[in-house]
Structure 1
Amino acid sequence: MNSTSFMTRWQQESLPLVAILRGITPAQASEAAEILLSCGFHWLEVPLNSPEPLKSIRLMRETVAGRGFVGAGTVLTVEQVLQVTDAGGQLIISPNCDPRVIRQSVECGLVSLPGVMTPSEAFSAIAAGASALKLFPAEHVTPAIAKAFRSVIPQEVACLPVGGIQPDVVQMRSYIRAGANGFGLGGGLYQAGMSMALLRERAQAYQHAWLECVE
């Protein structure tokens, strides 16, 4: 999915947030997917440094079916892209910008969201065919820096801050005003071993915060 196609699809999202489920196990995968779908989340990421991540991706993809997108995070190699593809993944999300990983993701027909923290990385990712850009870590890519990025990055390329994003209307709104198109949510949404009831509570908190931001 090229950046223009991704942006068109992304702008149709009522909740343009990626749920990052680092540490999730296959035993929780299907239930977590159903909870997140019920809270409006349609983009689900299982980082590859989770227990049996490919199994969780398969289970979540079966659960989500045509209702959303499931894929892998912390993808660092071409070989991992191929493994995720075989598991039915639709997203390849990385903490870094590796053009080889991006190109392989594109070749496999997957959504590619590489991590970038400098303009040089951003334009390298765009040139390799990235679907969108993950501004990571957001603790360092402040709203002021995100605004500077947005002034030079083509408008058809979505920018999603990831790292330290809380269900905080003030924080979210500051990034949105700087030009962010949504967010990736990690530890503030899910932590390994947490109950599914708490996941629902946190997912609803992010849902409400986003809706308040865009009112």
Structure 2
Amino acid sequence: MSRTLIAILRGITPPEVEVVGQALVDAGVTMIEVPLNSPDPLASITTLQNRFGDVARIGAGTVLRPSEVAAVAATGARMIVSPNCDPAVIAATVSAGLESYPGVMTPTEAFAAAAAGATALKLFPGELIGPAGLKAMRAVLPSTMPLYAVGGVSADNMATWIEAGAAGFGIGSSLYKPGDSADAVAAKASDIVAAWDAATK
């Protein structure tokens, strides 16, 4: 099982993004998103794509409008992650040839996102739904549609989520908080990767 761990770098700034990105890639985290409500996000995404695009999947988070999809696509990044299920954003993402990770919280939203062409579903907020809720949704959704838990995921509970059917995770504050040094991110990423490897071996 490949490591499907998306680092969410909410609040990161362009001057620090390359060293933080290097710390993540070195630790084995090869999916990285910069939420669009971060400072100058497209500059950070462009830097990550130019520096790590050949070894990591780079993308944007908190994408709410089709116009934002176009702006991200222009950077060369490949992932569009949203907190909500908007078929127009999903369609724009698919049309641009990018991967779509819309946020869902209910089976109705999950099926709508899948029908619109989502690559995988972002179960958000994960801490409200919990592993039990994920397991119930996993029972009715197509087995080919991956579910990523986002929110409330840490090295301590990752195994429980995987057992419930999580195919991957989006991890924010457990990996990066604004102001964290690259060394701090490297240490946290090492713990997260070790927990993933232990839970999936």
TM-score (ref. length: structure 2): 0.98
Indicate if the aligned counterparts of 1:131 and 1:157 stay in contact, CA closer than 8 A: yes
Q: Which residue of 2 aligns with 1:8?
A: none
Question: Could you tell which deviates more after superposition, 131-140 or 80-89?
Answer: 80-89
Indicate if the aligned counterparts of 1:81 and 1:92 stay in contact, CA closer than 8 A: yes
Partner Cα separation in structure 1 for residue 158 and residue 17 of structure 2: 27
Letter in 2 for 1:138: G
Indicate if the aligned counterparts of 1:135 and 1:161 stay in contact, CA closer than 8 A: yes
Indicate if the aligned counterparts of 2:20 and 2:181 stay in contact, CA closer than 8 A: no
> What aligned pairs does 1:37-116 form with structure 2 within 5 A after superposition?
37-116=25-104
Q: Which residue of 1 aligns with 2:190?
A: 204
Partner Cα separation in structure 2 for residue 77 and residue 126 of structure 1: 18
RMSD: 0.9
Number of equivalent positions: 201
Q: Which residue of 1 aligns with 2:171?
A: 185
The answer to whether 1:133 aligns with 2:94 is no
C-alpha distance after superposition, 1:42-80 (max 9, x if no partner):
100000000000000000001113111100000000111
Indicate if the aligned counterparts of 2:159 and 2:195 stay in contact, CA closer than 8 A: no
Hey, which bits of structure 1, 4+ residues long, moved more than 4 A? none
Structure 2 alignment gaps of length 5 or more? none
The answer to whether 1:16 aligns with 2:4 is yes
Partner Cα separation in structure 1 for residue 21 and residue 49 of structure 2: 9
Indicate if the aligned counterparts of 1:105 and 1:111 stay in contact, CA closer than 8 A: yes
Q: 1:176 aligns with which of 153, 157, 162?
A: 162
Question: Could you tell which deviates more after superposition, 25-34 or 93-102?
Answer: 25-34
Q: CA deviation at 1:35?
A: 1.0
Give the secondary structure class of the aligned counterpart of 2:129: coil
Q: Which residue of 1 aligns with 2:152?
A: 164
Q: Which residue of 2 aligns with 1:213?
A: 199
Q: CA deviation at 1:213?
A: 1.2
Structure 1 alignment gaps of length 5 or more? 1-10
Partner Cα separation in structure 1 for residue 163 and residue 38 of structure 2: 33
Letter in 1 for 2:22: E
Q: 1:121 aligns with which of 100, 109, 127?
A: 109
Indicate if the aligned counterparts of 2:53 and 2:77 stay in contact, CA closer than 8 A: no
Letter in 2 for 1:150: R
